[in-house]
Amino acid sequence: MLKLEVSYRALVIVGAALLGLWLLARLWPVLLLIFVALIFTAALLPYVEWLVRRGFPRVLAVLTVLFVILVIIAGLFALVVPAMIEEFRDLQSNLPEDARDFERFMEDLGFDTEDWDLPERAEDIEWNRLISGDVALDYGQRVVVGLLSALTVIVLTAYFLIDAPKIVQYLYRYVPDERERDLDEILLSLNRVVGGYIRGQVITSLVIAVFTLVVLLAAGVPNAIAFAVLAGFADIIPLVGAFIAVVPATLAAFQQSPTQAVIVLTALVLYQQFEDRYLVPRIYGSTLNLPPLVVLIAVLAGAEVLGVAGILLALPATAAGRVLLDFWLEKRQPGAPPPDVPPDEVLAPDSTGGTG
């Protein structure tokens, strides 16, 4: 006979755990927005502190930093969106002819295209069904939800930046005196790693945007600036971003000539190799310090759980987790070396002075 006894304390613990899981499931969208706001806070805090040390009131410093960033992003979208609409219209009207050019180009390379029938298939595409009212309504709803989420993140980021000193003081109230140094190390490492990742990503996005612009201008591709900006945005997305950065620019170049398309494709693919093997390790340094397999698993897990948002958040979240894991391991093994703290990044102002 099996006799099972459960104490009241165990019941309370199980009930509290179930309640916590239920609250986590219910509040997950809100917690996700808070997490995104904290990532942006870590990236922007050095600039706010830099302005504060130069006499700016804290609220004005926060509003100045956010205003500059929003103006830049709005300007970039103003460049990209009209150009992408124009390119889509050109693709829609010229697709059969482009398909014939592609078949002729592949025939010149020695491929047998007799059974491909690409021009006929292009003419059979029902564009009205692809952009029907239901599809447009669905994407319109997603855009509205995305804009509201972005507005929420901006407001939360502003509050976090303004109240950063108070938040830190509030945390120290619940930390024993002998643990304050540990908290200092954790906050410093998280700020350097997560903020450094964001600032490093800005650098790589700028570099690929400039390179793409030069290549497209040399190849005579129209709307070169828009495609360069698109490549900069696409560079933010791990793994998939390279495809997004290369394919639209190559298709636009193909409408000029297959030779230009090959030149653009080759140049952009070679740059992707240069960025992955040379540029990223030197810009990020030890900021991420994540094996490629861990990056792949993190991105796939993020995509499965949160879609595009999960892909974007996978690396900073994993880097933050690495900081906490390194700190825990270092405390368990007192003789182990301290966790890596990357040096100040190129785009980060001198951060001495803390969150005072």
3-state secondary structure of 176: coil
Per-residue pLDDT averaged across 94-113, rounded? Answer: 70
Residues whose CB is less than 8 angstroms from the CB of residue 56 and which lie 6 or more positions away in sequence, other chains included: 64
pLDDT per position as a tens digit, 309-336: 676 677 777 777 777 777 777 766 655 4
Residues whose CB is less than 8 angstroms from the CB of residue 20 and which lie 6 or more positions away in sequence, other chains included: none
Domain boundaries, the chain: 28-103+130-174
Model's pTM, two decimal places? 0.67
pLDDT per position as a tens digit, 172-201: 777 777 777 777 777 777 777 777 777 778
Return the pLDDT at 300: 74
pLDDT per position as a tens digit, 106-115: 776 666 666 6
Return the pLDDT at 138: 67
Q: Contact 241/234 with Cβ under 8 angstroms?
A: yes
Percent of the chain with pLDDT over 70: 73
Query: In the structure encoding, which two tokens stand for residue 265, read together?
Result: 């494709």
Q: Which of 29-43, 132-146, 200-214 has the highest mean pLDDT?
A: 200-214
For CA atoms 70, 74, 77, 81, the dihedral sign is positive
For CA atoms 45, 51, 53, 57, the dihedral sign is negative
Return the pLDDT at 211: 92
Q: What mean pLDDT value characterizes the chain? A: 76
Return the pLDDT at 260: 84
For CA atoms 279, 280, 282, 284, the dihedral sign is positive
